[in-house]
Amino acid sequence: MVTKPPTPRDALSGSMTLASERDIVATRRLVRELTQELKFTLVDQTKMITAASELSRNAVIYGHGGVMRWEIVTNGLQTGLRLAFEDQGPGIPDTDLALTDGWTSGTGMGIGLSGSRRLVNDFELRTVVGAGTCVTVTRWR
Amino acid sequence: MDRIPILKMGRCLLVTIQVDLLDQTALALQDDLSERIATTAAQGVLIDISALEIVDSFVGRILGSISGIAAVMGATLVVVGMQPAVAITLVELGLSLAGVRTALDVERGMSLLQADERSRGGD
Amino acid sequence: MKQENALFDDVLKAGPEAFLESWLSEATQSGDSAPITKTAPQDARELMDSLQDAVRAGADLTRFEGEAWSRTRSVLAELSRSRAAQGASAGETSYFVLAIKKPLFAGLRKLLDGSPQHAFDAVWAASTLVDRMAQWTATTYQRSREDVILRQQQELLELSTPVVKLWEGVLAVPMIGTLDSSRTQLVMESLLTRIVETGSELAIIDITGVPTVDTLVAQHLLKTVTAIRLMGADCIISGIRPQIAQTIVQLGIDLQGIITKATLADALSLALKKGGWAVSRHAR
């Protein structure tokens, strides 16, 4: 469920619950709207939406549900979109392994995590076993 | 839940994906296709993804699975109409979709399937 | 808050023409160039109108990001967009907004003559509001400039890697210069788009003009070819000079079954054959 209306304007941040499969589709839709408003090129939109799809699925399936927070950011010169996917799931025991292509925790988290990293400009993974995971990605226009 | 319709055209099955897929819809498509290939003894399956703007690893794996399942049942899968942005993203994502035949559009996809049928000796 | 709103409204309606005149004379003092000065009166009037509306509607003067200020924000955004397009500087554009302080403060001082504390509070509120407006203007100005620059970059890159149709179903891209990731990105995009537009099943990438091919360049080429194949087309790489061929072998680069040809002519010949074309020559 979206907590802030998706059409913009002046809203520079917001969040979305990630509880079920439907939320994965909703994530794609929201990120599409946001990247379109920020006037990302079509390829950059596609990359960001695909990364968001992977990460929201990870949160729903492996993280047992979570939340996505979005924020329009600037580094002085460029405008960008930052997405943070946070869950209170089991966490990832071996992050190096998780970020290796082809790693899978059984049903295929592998390529989603490592692949997403290649689709964005900035990638940050914070995880604590038994407590949860937070993946933050940023794409600059 | 909405299921993606499967059309039969001669010895081929045609699927057009026009909506943003829920994971379960994609899985249902895999099940439905597997069943239809068996019941119709189809020789070819064509999946048109020209309207699909996002193909992530889940959908990619489903396409790979369908390709494998079809092959085991003696049919060829052809995926057509992949959008440029999708292709670029898939490559970056690291999904090769190895083993999945592709064609630019439905017309070429059908020629490919027919050529395949002929080379297999048809019937 | 309401009290200050009423005050501002009084200032704005006390003598709008004089207000605008004072504002414009202050704004153009910074040496605004001629074309911008022409639209300045119009811009000022519209901005003043939107301010009046907002103030009368009870807008919170300390929350410029609020809903009540949305018209003012869009007026300012339009202002910075048009100035950015005309080539005005960020400074000139935000100064235009800051200049409103002159008539605003003067008006407040006149109204509150005799109550200095009150006057100070009102001037502070006014100053903070105008500063937020100028900040907003600067931000939207920056975004507009970014858009312009982005578009120009895009056009420049597109010009340097043209995709040509060599034959029915055969496209060619002559790569000239070093092949880096942003260049590759662009080639991929334009090539793949043209493949879809023309329905071409074969693309020839000619690297005669690429000085060196190392593992990184090879990676970029391979990515491009993979994308082409994913879409259902295929690729030939031509223009492989002897030194490049040696480097490829030495580095152990696996070209993954991509057909390579020494010259564009050879590549075209192969492409035609694949497409079922036969070229015949008549005795002259």
Residue C156 class from Cβ within 10 Å (0-12 exposed, 13-18 middle, 19+ buried)? Answer: exposed
Nearby residues of C76 by Cβ (< 8 Å), 6 or more positions away: C47, C97, C133, C136, C137, C140
> Could you tell me if A47 and B89 are in contact, meaning their C-beta atoms sit under 8 angstroms apart?
yes
A42–B23 C-beta distance less than 8 A: no
**pLDDT-wise least confident of A25-34, B73-82, C211-220:** C211-220
Which residues of chain C have a CB within 8 Å of the CB of A79? 143, 146
> Could you tell me if C200 and C169 are in contact, meaning their C-beta atoms sit under 8 angstroms apart?
yes
**pLDDT-wise least confident of A65-69, A122-126, C89-93, C194-198:** C89-93
Among B16, B67, B13, smallest CA distance to B36 is for B13
Which residue has 């604590």 as its token pair? A128
DSSP C21: H
Give C189→chain A minimum CA distance, Å: 8
Q: What percent of chain C has pLDDT over 70?
A: 96
| Other beta carbons less than 10 A from residue B85's beta carbon | 24
**pLDDT-wise least confident of B15-19, B107-111, C33-37, C138-142:** C33-37
B103–C232 C-beta distance less than 8 A: yes
Mutate to test the interface with B, among A35, A41, A50 (most CBs of B within 10 A): A50
Q: Which of B90, B92, B102 sits opposite C232 (nearest CB)?
A: B102
C185–A43 C-beta distance less than 8 A: yes
Check residue C31 and give its pLDDT: 56
Termini Cα distance of chain C = 94
Q: Is the pLDDT of residue A8 over 50?
A: no
Out of 3.40.1190.20, 3.30.565.10, 3.40.190.10, 3.40.1380.10, the CATH code matching A13-140 is 3.30.565.10
Band (pLDDT 50/70/90 cuts) for residue C115 is confident
Torsion over CA of B118, B45, B107 and B87, rounded to 10 degrees? -120
Q: Which of A25, A28, A46 sits opposite B89 (nearest CB)?
A: A46
d(CA C199, CA C205): 17
Mean predicted confidence (pLDDT) in B46-71: 95
Band (pLDDT 50/70/90 cuts) for residue A7 is very low
DSSP per-residue string spanning A34-89: HHHHTT--HHHHHHHHHHHHHHHHHHHHTSSSEEEEEEEEE-SS-EEEEEEEEE-S
Which residues of chain C have a CB within 8 Å of the CB of B104? 195-196, 199, 201, 231-233
C195–B87 C-beta distance less than 8 A: no
CB pairs under 8 A between A and B: 67
Is the ipTM higher than 0.90? The answer is yes
Q: Is the pLDDT of residue C145 over 70?
A: yes
d(CA B76, CA B100): 9
In words, the CATH class of domain B6-104 is alpha beta
B83–C230 C-beta distance less than 8 A: no
Give A9→chain B minimum CA distance, Å: 24
Residue C219 class from Cβ within 10 Å (0-12 exposed, 13-18 middle, 19+ buried)? Answer: middle
| Other beta carbons less than 10 A from residue A94's beta carbon | 11
**pLDDT-wise least confident of A9-13, A79-83, A96-100, C104-108:** A9-13
> Could you tell me if C235 and C258 are in contact, meaning their C-beta atoms sit under 8 angstroms apart?
yes
User: Which amino acid is residue A130, in one-letter code?
Assistant: G
Spell out the domain ranges in chain B: 6-104
pLDDT in tens, C19-46: 888 888 888 775 555 455 678 888 888 9
Give C171→chain B minimum CA distance, Å: 14
Nearby residues of C68 by Cβ (< 8 Å), 6 or more positions away: C54, C57, C58, C59, C60
Which CATH number is associated with domain C164-274? 3.30.750.24
Check residue C25 and give its pLDDT: 85
Which residues of chain C have a CB within 8 Å of the CB of B97? 230
Check residue A110 and give its pLDDT: 63
Pairing of strands A66-74, A13-18: antiparallel
> Could you tell me if B77 and B45 are in contact, meaning their C-beta atoms sit under 8 angstroms apart?
yes
pLDDT in tens, C47-71: 999 998 888 888 888 888 888 888 9
Among C34, C42, C64, C41, smallest CA distance to C51 is for C64
pTM above 0.80, yes or no: no
Given CB atoms, is B93 within the 8 Å cutoff of chain C? Answer: no
Going from the C-alpha of B100 to that of each of A16, B46, C231, the distances in angstroms are 35, 11, 11
Which residues of chain B have a CB within 8 Å of the CB of A49? 53-54
Q: Is the pLDDT of residue B121 over 80?
A: no
User: Which backbone phi and psi does C64 adopt, to 5 degrees?
Assistant: -70, -20
Check residue A6 and give its pLDDT: 44
Check residue C12 and give its pLDDT: 85
Mean predicted confidence (pLDDT) in C231-240: 94
Give A5→chain C minimum CA distance, Å: 13
Chains in contact with B via at least 3 Cβ–Cβ pairs below 8 Å = A, C
d(CA C239, CA C224): 16
Q: Is the pLDDT of residue A102 over 50?
A: yes
Which residue has 């003696």 as its token pair? B74
d(CA C232, CA C196): 10
> Could you tell me if A39 and C147 are in contact, meaning their C-beta atoms sit under 8 angstroms apart?
yes
Band (pLDDT 50/70/90 cuts) for residue A106 is very low
A57–B58 C-beta distance less than 8 A: yes
C146–A79 C-beta distance less than 8 A: yes
Which residues of chain C have a CB within 8 Å of the CB of A75? none
Among A23, A80, A29, A101, smallest CA distance to A56 is for A23
| Other beta carbons less than 10 A from residue C33's beta carbon | 12
Nearby residues of C218 by Cβ (< 8 Å), 6 or more positions away: C248, C251, C253, C255
Which residues of chain B have a CB within 8 Å of the CB of C196? 83-84, 104
B57–A54 C-beta distance less than 8 A: yes
The number of residues in chain C equals 284
DSSP per-residue string spanning C159-228: HHS--EEEETTEEEEEEES---HHHHHHHHHHHHHHHHHHT-SEEEEEEEE-----HHHHHHHHHHHHHH
Give C243→chain B minimum CA distance, Å: 29
User: Which backbone phi and psi does B111 adopt, to 5 degrees?
Assistant: -60, -40
B88–C195 C-beta distance less than 8 A: no
Nearby residues of A44 by Cβ (< 8 Å), 6 or more positions away: A35, A139, A141
> Could you tell me if B36 and B45 are in contact, meaning their C-beta atoms sit under 8 angstroms apart?
no
> Could you tell me if B72 and A89 are in contact, meaning their C-beta atoms sit under 8 angstroms apart?
no
Which residues of chain B have a CB within 8 Å of the CB of C199? 104-105
**In terms of CATH architecture, what is C2-152?**
Orthogonal Bundle (1.10)
B103–C189 C-beta distance less than 8 A: no
Band (pLDDT 50/70/90 cuts) for residue A95 is confident
Mutate to test the interface with B, among C171, C231, C256, C274 (most CBs of B within 10 A): C231
CB pairs under 8 A between A and C: 14
Q: Is the pLDDT of residue A4 over 50?
A: no
User: Which backbone phi and psi does B43 adopt, to 5 degrees?
Assistant: -100, -20
User: Which amino acid is residue C9, in one-letter code?
Assistant: D
